[in-house]
Structure 1
Amino acid sequence: MPRRKRLSALLLALCLLALPAVAESVLAEPLRVAVAANFRATAERAGAAFERETGTAVVLSSAATGMLYNQLRHGAPFDLFLAADAERPRRLAEEGIAIAASRRCYARGRLVLLGGPLAALKTPGQRVAIANAAVAPYGAAAEAVLARPPLAGVERRLLRGASVQQAWQFHATGGADLALVARSLVGDADRLELIPADWHAPIEQQAIVVAGGRETEADAFLAWLAGPAARPLLERDGYDPCP
């Protein structure tokens, strides 16, 4: 065999040997999930359990729901969006960025008050931490609570965090007297008051699969998250089941 042909055959053999490694690296690509700040810790535990069962790694990026929505609209490479509301997933479906048929509720959040009884919200001069309602559904729920009589009109200093996680941090570090945050962020040892569910619109947290990503794996993770295997994780972190 001429030298040139022997060299070509050798290169072909090397390429064929490399194919399994290439395929394995493709299969090993993680599922990229954009997750609302309130659900980050729960999603970490859920992702770890899902990986143990399926072998699919889950990589999370968390921020306020509105921030993640804007990132997705500008082409952020996520496969699944776990929002803290129903509005942003619906918009993504209408805009053709996500798959409308995949949109579903995966949890219902609860709002709590940290730092005192509900009556403390009527005390003037309090520093109250809430999430920014423009980007965080828990912030919108907090504003609805503060707008209820007899809480409306009370002079207080509102500290708005970029996410509900940051609002919790304001209180945890002593920067706020009170905080209206997600139940999921608060430990059992913390002093909290559960806000009555009818004091604000339901916090229905919906998810949607992003078009053009790892759709099959995203569907599988979402089905797992909405199924019986994840129920103990959700209940442990203070979420109510979807209706």
Structure 2
Amino acid sequence: MRRLLFISVLMLSTLLPTRAAEPLTVFAAASLREAMEAIGAAFEEETGTAVVFSFAGTGTLARQIEAGAPADVFISADAAWMDYVRDAGVVEADTIRDFASNAIVLIGAKGSAALEPAAADLQERLDGHRLAMADPDTVPAGRYGKAALEHQGLWSTVSHALAPMENVRVALTAVVRGDTPAGLVYRTDALIEPGVTILYEFPEGSHPRIRYLAALTGEGDRGAASQFLDFLAGPAAQEVLRSLGFVADNG
């Protein structure tokens, strides 16, 4: 009787659907949306583990994680916010790694003429309107943008005429809609948006190196989350990043 019961249970278990792995939750900087969605799809195809993303300004995400938001992986657009969550003890310090870089550009509406952003030229282009950029006090793209403007001697020209936004994609949208004639965004943002033109690309060295960093939060399935970090540095993810204009970093 026991043998028959064991066989029945075994047969029933083979008929039940296999429980899929729990999806990973990744909090990622807004500027990475297209890249992360493509990388997440490739990761799921390779491993069978789905990835659910939450995109926002890096500072917003960092504070959410600090407050206990259930993320498995945090991806920051700068070292300062990664240091913040590390010091708060909500990411695992030994898992932090760089995986990509970017550049800052000045954009205008599609078809706008290129600009050599000397103070007078930029003032003339703004023509009393505001310059759209991510908030330089809290958002990585804004901090990089402020540094680039300071390096070029332009900060004093525009600091009184800023339209600070909650993240870089909001600044991009403001230019697309015509709310402002110019904005500062990442080069990758400009490349994926057909409604804008790059007016000027700030030279290398005009701002701190833009660093995208990823780390585990210690929540959920550490094995799958570690797999995702390794995948970010692997050839498939790096090729996605390069195809979208990021500077990929295999190291």
* TM-score interval, normalised by the smaller of the two chains: 0.7 to 0.9
Q: Which runs of 5+ in 2 are unaligned?
A: 109-113
Contact 2:152 2:206 in 1 (8 A): no
Give the alignment of 1:130-145 within 5 angstroms. 130-145=133-148
Match of 2:230 among 220, 223, 236: 223
Aligned to 2:130: 127
Question: 1: CA distance between counterparts of 2:155 and 2:136?
Answer: 17
Partner of 1:81: 74
**Structure 2 Cα separation of the partners of residues 96 and 227 of structure 1:** 27
1:191-229 CA-to-partner distances (Å, cap 9, x unmatched) read 213221211111111111011322111111111111222
Matched with 1:152 is 155
- TM norm structure 1: 0.85
In structure 2, the residue matched to 1:5 is none
Indicate the residue corresponding to 2:111 in structure 1.
none
Which residue is 1:3 aligned to? Answer: none
Matched residues in 2 for 1:91 and 1:150: separation? 30
Structure 2 match to 1:117: 115
Contact 2:191 2:245 in 1 (8 A): no
After TM superposition, the score normalised by the length of structure 2 is 0.82
Q: Which amino acid in structure 1 is aligned with residue 60 of structure 2?
A: M
What is the distance in 2 between the residues matched to 1:150 and 1:70?
33
Q: Which residue number in structure 2 is paired with residue 91 of structure 1? A: 84
Is 1:59 aligned with 2:63? Answer: no
Equivalent-residue separation in structure 1 for 2:237 and 2:102 (angstroms): 15
Residue 48 of structure 1 aligns with which residue?
A: 41
Counterpart residue number, 2:244? 237
Match of 1:182 among 186, 196, 207: 186
Relative to structure 2, which stretch is displaced further, 185-194 or 229-238?
Answer: 185-194
Hey, what's the Cα distance between the residues in 1 that align with 2:60 and 2:14? Answer: 40
The question of whether the paired residues in 2 share the 8 Å contact of 1:183 and 1:237 is answered with no
Q: Distance in 1 between matches of 2:79 and 2:156?
A: 29
Q: Verify the 8 A CA contact 1:66 1:134 in the aligned structure 2.
A: no
SS at match of 2:148: helix
Corresponding residue to 1:161 among 156, 162, 165: 165
| SS of 1:61 mapped into structure 2 | strand
CA contact (8 A) 1:122 1:151 kept: no
The AA in structure 1 aligned to 2:215 is: I
Alpha-carbon separation, structure 1, partners of 2:168 and 2:79: 17
Aligned residues: 230
Query: Does the CA contact (< 8 Å) of 2:79 and 2:213 recur in 1?
Result: yes
Partner of 2:197: 191
Q: Aligned-pair RMSD on alpha carbons?
A: 2.5
What displacement does 1:19 show?
Answer: 11
Give, in angstroms, the shift of residue 18 of structure 1: 11
Q: CA deviation at 1:93?
A: 2.4
For residue 236 of structure 2, give the secondary structure of its aligned residue in structure 1: coil
Asked if structure 1 preserves the Cα contact closer than 8 Å seen for 2:72 and 2:220, the reply is: yes
Q: Runs of 4+ in structure 1 displaced over 6 angstroms?
A: none
1:170 is aligned with what amino acid? A
Contact 1:132 1:163 (C-alpha < 8 Å) held by counterparts: yes
